[in-house]
Amino acid sequence: MLNDRGESPSLPARGLAVGVFDLFHVGHLRYLQFIRARCRTLVVAVTSDAIVLEKKQRPTAVSEAHRIEIVRGLGWVDEVLPQPASLDDADAAERWLTALSIDHVFIGDDWRGSARWRTLEPRLSALGIGLSWTPRTMEVSTTALRQHIQHGCKE
C-alpha cells in the first residue's frame, strides 16, 4: 500500500542528507534525488560556514544562507537547516540527530571507512538510526569546479 505521496510506508520516515553544497552541481542534485527516493521525509543539513572553515581551512564560495536557499528551492526537500555541529563530534551528532527524530542517515560513499563514520556508525545503530552509503557522481565535484574557475578550462 502506498501513502498519499505514492511512497511505500516501509521507507524510513525521516532521512537525513548532510553536505556543504557549495557551487551546487549535478552531483549534489543526484545525491539528493537518490535520498529523496529512499525516505518519506527528506531533511537536509547544510554544513555551516563555520564548520567548513574549521575543517577545510578555507571559506565556501557561496554563503551558508544562499546554499540553504538553493537546497530549499528544489521544492521536493521537506526540511533544510544549518548543520548544528560537526559530525566529527560524535556526542553532538547523536544529540542533534536524536533531536531531529532522524530514522536514517545517507552519506556519500567516499566517506565509507573514514574515522568519523567508524565512530558514528555503531553509535547510530545503537540509537536505531540506519545508515546508507550513496553513490558518488564521478564526472563532477566541487573541487574540480573550483580548479576550473581558478585556472580556466584546460581541455
What CATH number does the domain containing 129 carry? 3.40.50.620
Three-class DSSP category at 80: strand
- What is the phi/psi pair of residue 55, to 5°? -80, -40
Q: Is residue 9 part of a domain?
A: no
Query: Which amino acid does the sequence have at 70?
Result: I
What tens-digit pLDDT sequence spans the chain (155 residues)? 455 656 566 888 999 999 999 989 999 999 999 999 999 999 999 999 999 999 888 999 999 999 999 999 999 999 999 999 999 999 999 999 999 999 999 999 989 999 999 999 999 999 999 999 999 876 776 667 667 667 776 54
**Does residue 154 lie in a domain region?**
no
Write out the residue range of the structural domain in which residue 127 sits: 14-148
What pTM does this model have?
A: 0.86
Q: Does a structural domain hold residue 7?
A: no
Q: Which residue has the cell 558518488?
A: 136
Sheet holding 41-46, edge to edge: 79-82, 41-46, 14-19, 104-108, 130-134
